[in-house]
Amino acid sequence: MPFRDWLLALTVVTLWGLNFIAVKVAVATVPPFLLTALRFALVALVLAPLFRPARHQWKGIVGIGAVLGVGHFGLMFVGVSGMDAASAAIITQLGVPFSALLAWLAFGEPLGLGRGIGLVLAFSGVALLAGEPSLPSLVPMLILVAAMVAWAVSNVQVKRLGDINPLALNGWMAVAAAPMLAVLSFTLETGHAELPARMMADWRPWAGIAYTVIASSLVAYTLWYGLLRRHPMNRVVPVTLLGPVIAVAAGVLVLGETLTWQKVVGGAITIIGVAVVQFLGGNKQPPAEPEPGT
């Protein structure tokens, strides 16, 4: 890639890594499904009036809204609300192994011995995080793992959607996802009546929401889709391996999270495993949106 695009890729990864901090701060006040609904509602207000996808793409966009918007982002925010940001960032790296498994199951893409070893390493590293002292239970971890399965499925959906303006995809996927998430929030979450007073008393949830909407959604995803259009996925995606490093460092420095040996060793094993899967994966996997994220 040109040096300019490498810088753009590093910018995207940094924005996504710091997004875990923004989400963690915001979910301390705003329920996670409601926070995700607010994120997509604001994105939809900004982007949807400006761009319109092709008519034949509407059905696919609604499906992406359900799987990526609700299944990935909604569940990811729920998972982050129950664990520290650093561990969550490491677990989200499982999206790449899940994508490899899905490509094998759905498209018959061979895994091979090398990628099989990478899968084992990636899942072993996350399993090591299950013993992290700051993790109150396995439920948030399992929810986050489910979110990454949804991420892998959404990759296939984006690939099948065909050529589309990334801003149109972001905007109209948000239109589809926001009401679904709002229904889930008012069905499953509580504390909505007290939320306005709590929001007025603290600037931090506002900052978290602003970051996840502007930096993570509008800026980072627009840059990311542009990079995927210009370059093969496996030339771009390996840069995202820096994401959990940024998130772990920010969790320790900004949020005061404890840097345990489980985070260091488990995170290193996971990243090595993901790197093996990614670098041995060829160029057949569909475009991906690594997260928080993000």
pLDDT per residue, tens digit, the chain (294 aa), is 788 988 998 999 899 889 999 999 999 899 999 999 999 999 899 889 988 888 888 899 999 999 999 999 999 999 999 888 888 888 888 888 888 888 787 777 777 888 888 889 988 988 888 777 777 788 999 999 999 999 888 878 887 887 887 788 888 999 999 999 999 999 999 988 888 888 888 888 899 999 988 998 788 877 887 887 787 766 777 787 788 889 889 988 888 888 888 888 988 998 898 888 877 755 444 344 444 345
Instruction: Please indicate, yes or no, if residue 293 is contained in any of the structural domains.
Output: no
How distant, in Å, are the alpha carbons of 19, 59, 132 from that of 290? Answer: 12, 23, 23
Whole-number Å distance between alpha carbons of 11 and 18: 11
Question: What is the number of other CB atoms lying within 10 angstroms of the CB of residue 241?
Answer: 19
Identity of residue 133? P
| In contact, 70 and 120? CB cutoff 8 Å | no
**What is the helix (H) or strand (E) element at residue 259, kind and residue range?**
none
Q: Say what the pLDDT of residue 169 is.
A: 85
| In contact, 216 and 164? CB cutoff 8 Å | no
Instruction: Please indicate, yes or no, if residue 233 is contained in any of the structural domains.
Output: yes
Instruction: Please indicate, yes or no, if residue 149 is contained in any of the structural domains.
Output: yes
Whole-number Å distance between alpha carbons of 2 and 19: 26
Phi-psi region of 162 (alpha: psi -120 to 50; beta: other; left: phi over 0): left
Among the residues of 130-201, which ranges form H helices? 139-161, 166-188, 195-200
Core vs surface per residue 76-90: b (16+ CB within 10 A) or e: bbbbbbbbbbbbbbb
Whole-number Å distance between alpha carbons of 10 and 127: 28
What is the distance between the terminal CA atoms of the chain, rounded to a whole angstrom?
A: 24
Instruction: Please indicate, yes or no, if residue 260 is contained in any of the structural domains.
Output: yes
CA 200 to chain centroid, in Å, comes to 28
Phi-psi region of 126 (alpha: psi -120 to 50; beta: other; left: phi over 0): alpha
Angle, helices 222-230/166-188, rounded to nearest 10 degrees: 140
CA 126 to chain centroid, in Å, comes to 16
Instruction: Please indicate, yes or no, if residue 184 is contained in any of the structural domains.
Output: yes
Rg for the chain, CA atoms, rounded? 18
Instruction: Please indicate, yes or no, if residue 286 is contained in any of the structural domains.
Output: no
Best CA proximity match to 129, nearest among 271, 16, 243: 271
Sign of the dihedral defined by the CA atoms of residues 122, 15, 178, 226, in that order: negative
Instruction: Please indicate, yes or no, if residue 155 is contained in any of the structural domains.
Output: yes
Pull the structure tokens for residue 292.
Answer: 């928080």
Q: Give the total number of structural domains in the chain.
A: 1
Instruction: Please indicate, yes or no, if residue 287 is contained in any of the structural domains.
Output: no
- What is the extent of the structural domain holding 58? 3-279
The DSSP line for 184-235 is HHHHH---TTTHHHHHHT-SHHHHHHHIIIIIIIIIIIHHHHHHHHHS-HHH
